[in-house]
Chains A and B, each alone.
Chain A
């Protein structure tokens, strides 16, 4: 009888173990998302700093509601992520007129082996430190490097993991931020991911191609890295250079991120950034920074978390090399500052 009981328990255990393995292969449909809303006040009483998303002055405004679905069956998976609201529409890419939503991610993947995966569709860009979703950013206002760089790339890419610490992605992509490339699949991109020590990951990125209407081939080189120094301290760095051929200009800059978690619920972080626009004959202004000029920005943010809710109070000071902001009298000035409060709920 005892033997029978033992065998029964063992069989059930094995069944539960094999069920767990099967469950891992056919994961349930994941549903997640976020909503965000904010209040921003520029001390010049007019919208001044060219940050993405948190742009409305002296207004309790909305960001977006973001809904994401993910499903994995065996080696195949898909992600579909839609956003509704200014942050996901005009704030990101497409005109609010005629577009009732914006796709953040829409792609399918297939893992041919444990080491090699192919992905195709419309994806968040692999360039840069910050992203559109407020959930994955520490600061609510965004950096110049984020706003000037690509937000999303449609394309097909293959990723090969040489080891746990080194992997390489190579892909073909459309122009930046478009669902359809009118001049053909025009860009090639690559990302080398290196994790030298536990907690430190570095991404070396390149994306190059001629966009529709551009005067030359544009190439962006980007380094994005972060290091969890201790349980509480995290350091991040983003440096990028974008050059457009035929004297088409471009930009370069770097942003340093320092964050300290005083507790699991309360963190404080500072972002310091330098951004300049290249002085070229065919160059154009980037985010109010005219060719040959630059701007430095310091942003201090807190993250106070309760459950899925994050409260982000933030102050930001920007200082240009030339007059690129305005005072409350609308006279030009070199500096600007703003204060914002944001609520981000992730589910």
Chain B
């Protein structure tokens, strides 16, 4: 792993069904299958607790499936607001000494501003991200794909880091020095 993932995102590819996909097989040298399974469970539980993923039914004997979403924001010099969200499915499978994971089924749901000034989903059924938009919305659509690609890469970095750790150790907080005014 290098820092290049922060500088240049790995682009999404098309799978055999024509769907956009981020797919990666990671060699985990010395990683026993039980340890990898445990790390995957820890990661998923943490994401569920943080409400960033929802566990779906297992896609296979050993494949874990979860659903999540990335918020897409429109930002400018003086502007920042959510413009939509990209829904996705996350799959992961572990074997002895390696694991693979992929994110796919990307669909975009545009936001609209409601009567209270909040941005909310304008529909409940997303448009597949691989669908080519018409000329009228090509620019916006490219921005959504780029934003989703960036979020997917960031997700992959966090996931792979979690799969490298034997356990998540909470950071130790330093005691704040206290000045006693009674002793002098």
Contacts and interface: CB of A to CB of B under 8 A. Distances in A.
Interface of A: 5-6, 9-10, 13-14, 16-17, 21, 28-32, 34, 68, 70, 79, 81, 104-105, 107, 123-126, 131-133, 135-136, 198-199, 228, 230-231, 234, 263-266, 304-307, 346-347
A231 B137 contact: no
Given A13-B158, A199-B123, 13 more contacts: A5-B1, A6-B1, A13-B162, A14-B158, A16-B157, A31-B78, A31-B80, A32-B81, A136-B112, A136-B113, A136-B115, A231-B125, A263-B133
A163 to B, nearest CB: 15
B15 interface: no
B137 A228 contact: no
A10 B78 contact: no
Given A21-B50, A136-B112, A136-B113, A6 B164 contact: yes
A70 B117 contact: yes
Contacts, number: 105
**Which residue, B117, B127, B139, B162, has most C-beta atoms of chain A within 10 A?**
B117
A107 B117 CA distance: 10
B116 A123 contact: yes
Contacts of A136: 112-115
B179 interface: no
A151 B80 CA distance: 27
Interface of B: 1, 50, 78-82, 112-119, 123-127, 133-134, 136-137, 139-141, 154, 157-158, 160-162, 164-165
B80 A135 contact: no
Nearest to B140: A307
A302 B141 CA distance: 21
Given A136-B113, A307-B140, A29 B157 contact: no
A307 B139 contact: yes
A106 to B, nearest CB: 9
B137 A306 contact: yes
Nearest to B171: A14
B102 to A, nearest CB: 19
